[in-house]
């Protein structure tokens, strides 16, 4: 029983640790790059591995090919992502202002070159995170627990804790639950990637506009 539990835990947490290890190694290489570039580089490196894991899991459990989304569905999902991002950002920023906290990690990510932010944080990172946290972690938890609600909460906790600080956890936990709901509603990781890209790109653009004033 213990070894079965350890094996399942390792299969859920292992890919997350791989991503963390890659980030650590890149950070130790002394590239003198900013946070957005390092985060994007790590995403590029691990994405092929995680995609193979995701596809292999799908083959083992009989999950079919990724369902395509219509243009209307993509627009609807993107609009939903932007609205959710704005609402959560207003709520979280209100809480942070009340307690005089600042989100230094996010500020570091949005302080880099705008092109790096758009391509890396806005496109590459959302693809990698959705393959990892919803495609692999959530689906494996759902298969092991046989309970979608429990799997959703555990996956959201993992996603939040992985962001490394309390400030980002406040945003990451509810956002993870929303992303899982999007995944379940549309039945494809494409929906989550579209939603996540809309969230990140809207944050990048809004931050760029505000900082230019």
Place of tokens 């758009």: 118
For residue 198, the number of C-alpha atoms closer than 13 Å in the C-beta half-sphere is 21
> 168 falls in which pLDDT band (50, 70, 90)?
confident
Closest CA to 72 of 186, 184, 181: 186
Contact 170, 99 (CB under 8 A): no
* Cα first-last separation, the chain: 59
Mean pLDDT of the chain: 88
105 pLDDT more than 60: no
pLDDT at 100 (0 to 100)? 65
pLDDT at 213 (0 to 100)? 65
Tokens of 41: 């580089």
Closest CA to 19 of 163, 149, 196, 173: 163
Tokens of 19: 């991503």
Q: Which domain holds residue 91?
A: 2-211
pLDDT digits (tens, 9 = 90+) for 26-44: 988 877 678 888 899 999 9
- Give the count of domains, the chain: 1
Rounded to the nearest 10 degrees, the angle between the axes of helix 166-186 and helix 71-98 is 160
pLDDT digits (tens, 9 = 90+) for 44-72: 999 999 999 999 998 877 676 778 899 99
* Highest mean pLDDT: which range of 6-10, 178-182, 207-211: 178-182
pLDDT at 166 (0 to 100)? 81
pLDDT at 30 (0 to 100)? 74
Tokens of 77: 């999902």
Whether this model's pTM surpasses 0.75: yes
**Rounded to the nearest 5 degrees, what angle is found at the Cα of 51, between the Cα atoms of 132 and 7?**
60
pLDDT at 98 (0 to 100)? 72
pLDDT at 59 (0 to 100)? 81
């Amino acid at each position: 029983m213990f070894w079965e539990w350890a094996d399942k835990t390792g299969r859920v947490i292992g890919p997350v640790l791989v991503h963390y290890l890659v980030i650590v190694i890149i950070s130790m290489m002394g590239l003198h790059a900013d946070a957005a570039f390092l985060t994007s580089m790590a995403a590029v490196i691990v994405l092929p591995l995680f995609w193979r894991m995701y596809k292999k899991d799908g083959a083992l459990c009989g999950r079919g090919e990724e369902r395509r989304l219509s243009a209307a569905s993509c627009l609807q999902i993107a609009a939903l992502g932007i609205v959710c991002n704005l609402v959560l950002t207003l709520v979280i920023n209100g809480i942070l202002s009340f307690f005089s906290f600042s989100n230094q990690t996010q500020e570091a990510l949005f302080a880099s070159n705008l092109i790096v932010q758009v391509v890396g944080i806005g496109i590459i990172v959302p693809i990698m995170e959705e393959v990892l946290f919803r495609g692999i972690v959530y689906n494996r938890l759902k298969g092991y627990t046989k309970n979608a609600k429990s799997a959703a909460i555990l996956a959201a906790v993992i996603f939040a804790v992985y962001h490394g600080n309390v400030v980002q956890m406040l945003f990451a936990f509810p956002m993870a639950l929303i992303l899982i709901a999007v995944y379940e509603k549309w039945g494809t990781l494409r929906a989550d990637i579209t939603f996540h890209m809309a969230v990140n790109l809207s944050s990048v653009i809004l931050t760029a506009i505000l900082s230019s004033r």
